[in-house]
Amino acid sequence: MKKWFALSAIGHDRPGIVADLAEFIFESECNLEDSSMSRLGSEFAVLLLLSSTGVDAERRLSAGAKRLEWEKRLTVFIRPLDGEPMRGKPYGVTTFEVEAHGLDKAGIVARVARCLTESEANILEMSTRVRPAAESGTPVYHMSIVIDLPNQVREEELRRRLDEVAHALRIEIMLARRS
């Protein structure tokens, strides 16, 4: 019977982290099903979805994670999942991209995320970054979000709510259907 695991890891960015994790997964008799990896400042962060039909996969993963923490200075967390994870797009939702940018200030993520939650949107992916403006060097915040919005929620209503947040924060927020 196939078992599923979520794995997160973070460590100081360096060449070889992905190779170390991939070898650890292979040696644990697991298959890497899905992944998201990114450098965050000077750290490298990983989220993985693993599967295994091995009888002692959880024990192997646990032992291997301790070895990685000791030898490679990675912080690793493994969580067994109950049942098979959802695959594909759920029925009755439309996928959108939300882009926000403006002068960097506290509260942008909190306000936009709350607006999306109150509109019943499910955040699937999010990335943020601060970059200096080309001419002035002023810090500009950029946020990119992918959401699923239930079909019963009107797109126009979400746009109206996002416009209110954009006005209050003095930023720009764009909403576009994803194909």
Write the single-letter amino acid at 133.
A
- The DSSP bridge partners found for residue 4 are 51
153 belongs to a structural domain: yes
147 and 116 within one domain = yes
Question: Where does the pLDDT of residue 134 fall: very low under 50, low under 70, confident under 90, or very high at 90 and above?
Answer: confident
Range of the domain at 62: 3-80
Lowest mean pLDDT among 99-103, 149-153, 175-179: 175-179
Checking if the pLDDT of 179 tops 80, the result is no
Checking if the pLDDT of 25 tops 80, the result is yes
Angle at CA 72, nearest 5°, toward 71 and 76?
105
Q: What global pTM score does this model have?
A: 0.85
87 belongs to a structural domain: no
